Amino acid sequence: MAAEIIDGKQVAADMRAELKEKVAKLKDETGLIPGLAVVLVGEDPASKSYVTAKERACADIGIFSDDNRLGADTTQEVLMALVEKLNNDDRIHGILVQLPLPSHLDESQVLLAIDPDKDVDGFHPVNVGKMVVGEEAFLPCTPHGVIQLLLKSKVKIEGAEVVIVGRSNIVGKPLANMLIQKNPTGNATVTVCHTRTKNLAEHVKRADIVIAAAGRPNTVTADMIKDGAVVIDVGVNRVEDASKKRGYRLVGDADFDAIKEKASLITPVPGGVGPMTITMLLYNTVVSATRSAASRTAE
Q: What is the structure's pLDDT at 245?
A: 85
Q: Boundaries of CATH 3.40.50.10860 in the chain?
A: 33-115
Domain 141-274 fold is Rossmann fold (3.40.50)
Closest CA to 219 of 191, 192, 195, 189: 195
Residue 98: active-site member: yes
Percentage helix, strand, coil for the chain under 3-state DSSP, each rounded to 5:
45, 15, 40
Residues in the chain: 299
Residue 46: the pLDDT is 80
Rounded to a whole number of angstroms, the CA Rg of the chain reads 20
Q: Which of 98, 119, 233, 260 is catalytic?
A: 98
Please, is 240 exposed, middle or buried when counting C-beta atoms within 10 Å of its C-beta (0-12, 13-18, 19+)? Answer: exposed
Pick the catalytic residue from 7, 54, 208, 233: 54
Task: Output phi, psi for 140, to 5 deg.
Answer: -55, 140
pLDDT, residue 298, reads 65
CATH number corresponding to 33-115: 3.40.50.10860
| pTM, rounded to two decimals | 0.94
For position 248, what pLDDT does the model report?
87
What whole-number distance in Å separates Cα of residue 253 and Cα of residue 220? 6
Residue 1's pLDDT is what? 62
pLDDT on residue 49? 85
| Cα 22-28-29 angle, rounded to 5 deg | 90
119, 121, 253, 255: the active-site residue: 121
Instruction: Tell me whether residue 255 is one of the annotated catalytic residues.
Output: no
pLDDT of residue 238: 86
- pLDDT score, position 48: 84
pLDDT at 135: 95
Q: What angle do CA 48, 54, 57 make, to 5 degrees?
A: 145
Q: Give just the sign of the alpha carbon dihedral 42, 48, 52, 55.
A: negative
Q: Report strand pairing: 4-5 vs 248-251.
A: unpaired
Cβ count within 10 A of residue 203: 19
| 54 a catalytic residue | yes
The string of pLDDT tens digits covering residues 237-291 is 888 888 888 888 889 999 999 999 999 999 999 999 999 999 999 999 999 999 9
Q: Where in the chain is the domain with CATH 3.40.50.720?
A: 141-274
Which parts of the chain register pLDDT below 50?
A: none
- The answer to whether 176 touches 161, Cβ cutoff 8 Å, is no
Dist. CA 219–CA 143, nearest whole Å: 19
**Greatest pairwise CA separation for the chain in angstroms:** 62
